[in-house]
């Protein structure tokens, strides 16, 4: 059993106080779909070869100092939830922990030991004061380090998270030209609505299952894409194809047929879909999760078509409707239907999200790029996170959490995909 020991904990505050006129950060419609306890875990790993020229104390002080500077731009992270529709940006700070791990970095990540990876991500529980961002710097006995982060999904999506990390890393290495201030435009364009009862519904779905990493190689993705394209005359994207493959496996695992539908929630980044487009540096949650239904008799081509239709649906006209005055009744009705499915044990549902193309792998804090980037357990069953492979350009790593996930390994072997174990 690997031992990890927390050796320090402190609160990092913005280097300059948040102005009085910015003390209240209004949430938007999309933010409301993520209750405050829903966290995004992310871990960066740096080898001893990268950090050998830097003292551990210097690494710690550099990260803290640059984090403080980054929080001056991304000030909502240093605040606390005020109510269901706003954050009080009172500069209380974010948690910064340091820990020692009695194993080598290589032994933790290849193959990934999820139980240990979960310990590299700090908790953001309410008992911890309701922090919206927590960071943990972990030292391995080999000299390698890991930087684990956990953010409150209510205030930021994966895209916003990635631009925060990009700004923080640029400040750490002294590259001011790469620091872009975030835009806070979503709450005025998509104002919050009445409560949808999401928190109660989410809490009804307790965590279960295991989390494992599966690797989809670029060559096998390309071959499968050609095969699906030949049958459907449609060339799916990598993410659409892998999503369809996982969805089909999942239905086979549950024995889904035409009588038992399966549902997938699929996030669509709306920043470039609204008219006029939002800046890619827009802070908050600017994603809309579209629900798709399928059954076990559908082939990959049909599932890919379902996904493509869902993505095409989220256009400027659709988003304009979400800005309308009369949208609240529809949202409440549709959301309640979805949440009923979410807690129904007789219905198969999956949440699949993609971090592909986010520049996490470029995160250089002054000692080079990470040797690997991963997520960890999200705390919900039937959750899938897709990340670009670092060792195989065009490949994808899928982090899957579900009951009896070992059945996926059998399917993976049948399809000649590497389960990563």
Which residues are known to be catalytic?
153, 364
Pure H helices in 158-214: 158-172, 186-189, 198-203
Which is nearest to 286 in space by CA: 322, 240, 310?
322
Cβ(60)–Cβ(179) below 8 Å: no
Helix, strand, coil share of the chain (percent; to 5): 35, 25, 40
Tokens of 266: 């699929």
| Angle (CA) 289 184 273, round 5° | 40
Element (H, E) at 292: strand 287-294
Cβ(248)–Cβ(303) below 8 Å: yes
Cβ(323)–Cβ(288) below 8 Å: no
Sorted by sequence, the CB contacts under 8 Å of residue 30 that are 6+ apart come out as: 157, 186, 190, 270, 284, 285, 286, 287, 288
């Amino acid at each position: 059993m690997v031992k990890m020991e927390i050796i320090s904990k402190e609160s990092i505050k913005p280097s300059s106080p948040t102005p009085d006129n910015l003390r209240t950060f209004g949430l938007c419609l999309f933010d409301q779909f993520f209750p405050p306890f829903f966290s995004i875990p992310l871990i960066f790993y740096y080898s001893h070869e990268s950090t050998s020229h830097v003292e551990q104390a210097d690494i710690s002080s550099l990260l803290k100092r640059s984090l403080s500077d980054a929080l001056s731009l991304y000030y909502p992270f240093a605040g606390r939830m005020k109510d269901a529709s706003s954050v009080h940006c009172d500069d209380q700070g974010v948690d910064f922990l340091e820990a020692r791990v009695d194993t080598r970095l290589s032994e933790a990540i290849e193959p990934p030991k999820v139980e240990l990876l979960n310990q590299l991500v700090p908790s953001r529980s309410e008992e911890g004061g309701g922090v919206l961002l927590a960071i943990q710097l972990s030292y391995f006995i080999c000299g390698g380090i890991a930087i684990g982060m956990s953010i409150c999904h209510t205030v930021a999506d994966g895209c916003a998270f990635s631009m925060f990390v990009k700004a923080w890393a640029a400040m750490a290495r002294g590259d001011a030209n790469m620091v872009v201030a975030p835009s806070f435009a979503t709450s005025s364009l998509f104002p919050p609505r009445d409560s949808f009862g999401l928190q109660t519904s989410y809490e009804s779905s307790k965590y279960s299952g295991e989390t494992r990493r599966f690797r989809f190689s670029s060559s096998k993705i390309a071959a499968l894409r050609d095969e699906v394209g030949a049958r459907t005359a449609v060339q799916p994207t990598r993410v659409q194809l892998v999503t369809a493959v996982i969805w089909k496996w999942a239905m086979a695992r549950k024995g889904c047929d035409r009588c038992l539908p399966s549902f997938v929630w699929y996030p669509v980044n709306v920043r470039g879909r609204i008219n006029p487009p939002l800046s890619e540096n827009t802070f908050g949650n600017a994603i809309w999760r579209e629900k798709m239904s399928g059954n076990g008799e559908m082939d990959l081509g049909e599932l890919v078509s379902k996904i493509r239709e869902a993505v095409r649906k989220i256009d400027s006209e659709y988003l304009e409707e979400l800005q309308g005055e009369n949208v609240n009744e529809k949202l409440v009705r549709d959301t309640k239907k979805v949440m009923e499915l979410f807690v129904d044990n007789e219905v198969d549902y999956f949440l699949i999200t993609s971090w592909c193309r986010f520049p996490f792998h470029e995160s250089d804090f002054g000692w080079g790029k990470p040797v690997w980037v991963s997520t960890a357990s999200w705390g919900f069953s039937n959750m899938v996170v897709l990340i670009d492979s670092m060792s195989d350009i065009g490949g994808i790593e899928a982090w899957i959490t579900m009951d009896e996930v070992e059945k996926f390994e059998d399917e993976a072997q049948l399809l000649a995909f590497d389960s990563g174990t």
